[in-house]
């Protein structure tokens, strides 16, 4: 039945350059954090137009160390979105702070009006997530943060290559007046830029960058760390209890080459997105992913929305049918209140997110990555169209049929 072999939901785009760079690093004799990581940090900071960058071994680690470096902990509240990966909320819990969920707006991103309603005397930070690569309304979030003296830590796991009003996520606003305290990117295997596992925190405050560097390596002081990395020196001092969150040179060697390909890969993602949008926009059973014309989408995810009231099948059946046709889909995300780890908190009034819960059953992410072929994109389009056509709710006979006069035809 399959015309082409299985199209997985994602396949990482690793080329000969990455493979050669890893081999070179392995042969160099320096495997852990060193010259390649320093280079990757420098080039990444330049790419997102941020003065400082700290490489970390995951986005989860980066979110955690950012919260810790900003002094967030027990008794504090941090406002984030229900439509995210569990890591965003786990990091808040691990500092001892309380996560508070603000509901999403029509675009699926955290709604600034809902954030405003959730701010209390204990609120210390806002953690927006650029869902799928669509930039959040940062002007509104920065303005709330200024007004209430809150930190902003962006979960930019999907947003490497996204722009907000003409500037890369991480760069801050165009007149240099506002920027988040920390912006955290993910280089997990499925993300737009991958090092297998890895991440980057960018920030504008060099003092915060220094503090994060110390916390990422056991709490070893920066000066001692500089001596430590010089061959032949054995002495170091632990200034405070820190974490083990540094990125290895093996991974950074991959990241350097992934970064060089990023602009091209985003162009391919955008082209495939246009093909999807063009094919699906005319189907009333589907709603194409929201876009913002003043910001560039990274198209990390193509999050299609089903108009369930027009369909005889639900989202799970839609995914099963596509799987039988040889296409892997996914769902982003199971809202935080639906997970057992959050069950006790889900019923609290400040975690009520009816719009996120209503959106969730409609969401299906289709395969979208630069090493898909155009034929594969066309096959996904054809398969989605077929699935929709055969699941289309038939109009009630005698009502719409009578209106269109079809029954009267001989
Ligand atoms: C992938 C992801 C993370 C976690 O990234 P890791 O690098 O795997 O730690 C965090 N937040 C969101 C929204 C993600 O999609």
Burial of 7 (C-beta count, 10 Å sphere; 0-12/13-18/19+): buried
pLDDT at 176: 73
- Measure 107 CA to ligand 1 centroid, in angstroms: 20
Both 174 and 205 in one domain: the answer is yes
Do 274 and 249 share a structural domain?
Answer: no
- Where is the domain boundary, 260, 284, 308? 260
Q: What is the CATH number of the domain that holds 102?
A: 3.40.640.10
pLDDT tens profile 268-314: 999 999 999 999 999 999 999 999 999 999 999 999 999 999 999 99
User: Quick one: average pLDDT of 96-102?
Assistant: 98
CB of 109 sitting under 6 A from ligand 1: no
Residues 6+ apart with CB under 8 A from 159: 130, 133, 135, 169, 185, 298, 300
Residue of 84, 87, 194 best suited for mutating to test ligand 1, as the one with most atoms within 8 Å of CB? 87
Query: Is pLDDT of 393 > 50?
Result: yes
Q: Is 191 a catalytic residue?
A: yes
Q: Is the CB of 129 under 6 A from ligand 1?
A: yes
User: Which two three-digit tokens encode residue 292?
Assistant: 């913002």
**What proportion of the chain, given as a percentage, has pLDDT over 70?**
92
Same domain, 247 and 274: no
Contact (CB, 8 A) for 40 and 255: yes
236/78: higher pLDDT = 78
Mutate to test the pocket of ligand 1, among 60, 61, 129 (most ligand atoms within 8 A of CB): 60
Q: Is 2 within the bounds of a domain?
A: no
Query: Where is average pLDDT lowest: 68-77, 162-171, 230-239?
Result: 230-239
Over pLDDT 90: what percentage of the chain? 89
Range of 45's domain? 16-260
From 216, 193, 296, 268, select the one nearest 52 (Cα to Cα).
Answer: 216
Counting the structural domains of the chain, the total is: 2
What ranges make up the beta strands (E) of 18-90? 52-56, 77-80
Q: Do 296 and 253 fall within a single domain?
A: no
Looking at the CA of residue 158, tell me the nearest atom of ligand 1: 15
């Amino acid at each position: 039945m399959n015309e082409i072999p299985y199209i997985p939901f994602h396949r990482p785009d690793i080329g000969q350059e990455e493979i050669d760079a890893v081999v070179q690093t392995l042969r160099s004799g320096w495997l852990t954090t060193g010259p390649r990581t320093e280079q990757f940090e420098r080039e990444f900071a330049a790419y997102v137009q941020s003065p400082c960058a700290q490489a970390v071994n995951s986005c989860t680690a980066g979110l955690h160390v950012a919260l810790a470096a900003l002094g967030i902990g027990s008794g504090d509240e941090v406002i984030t979105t229900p439509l995210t990966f569990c890591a965003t909320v786990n990091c808040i819990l691990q500092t001892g702070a309380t996560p508070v969920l603000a509901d999403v707006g029509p675009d699926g991103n955290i709604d600034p009006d809902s954030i405003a309603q959730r701010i209390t005397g204990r609120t210390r930070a806002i953690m927006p997530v650029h869902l799928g690569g669509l930039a959040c309304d940062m002007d509104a979030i920065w303005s709330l943060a200024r007004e209430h003296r809150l930190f902003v830590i962006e979960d930019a796991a999907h947003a490497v290559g996204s722009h907000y009003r003409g500037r890369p996520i991480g760069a801050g606003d165009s007149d240099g007046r506002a920027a988040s305290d920390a912006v955290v990117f993910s280089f997990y295997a499925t993300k737009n830029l991958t090092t297998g596992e890895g991440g980057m925190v960018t920030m504008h405050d060099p003092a915060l960058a220094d503090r994060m560097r110390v916390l990422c390596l056991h709490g070893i002081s920066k000066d001692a760390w500089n001596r430590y990395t010089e061959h032949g020196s054995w002495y170091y001092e632990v200034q405070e209890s820190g974490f083990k969150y540094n990125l290895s040179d093996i991974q950074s060697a991959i990241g350097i080459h992934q970064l060089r390909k990023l602009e091209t890969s985003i162009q391919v993602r955008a082209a495939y997105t246009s093909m999807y949008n063009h094919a699906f926009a005319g189907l009333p059973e589907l709603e194409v992913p929201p876009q913002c014309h003043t910001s560039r989408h990274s198209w990390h995810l193509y999050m299609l929305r089903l108009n369930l009231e027009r369909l005889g099948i639900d989202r799970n059946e839609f995914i099963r049918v596509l799987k039988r046709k040889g296409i892997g889909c996914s769902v982003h995300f199971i809202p935080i209140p639906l997970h057992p780890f959050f069950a006790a908190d889900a019923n609290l009034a400040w975690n009520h997110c009816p719009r996120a819960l209503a959106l969730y059953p409609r969401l299906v992410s289709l395969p979208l990555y630069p090493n898909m072929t155009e034929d594969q994109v066309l096959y996904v389009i054809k398969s989605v169209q077929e699935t929709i056509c055969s699941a289309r709710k038939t109009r009630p006979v005698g009502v719409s049929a009578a209106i269109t006069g079809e029954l009267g035809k001989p």
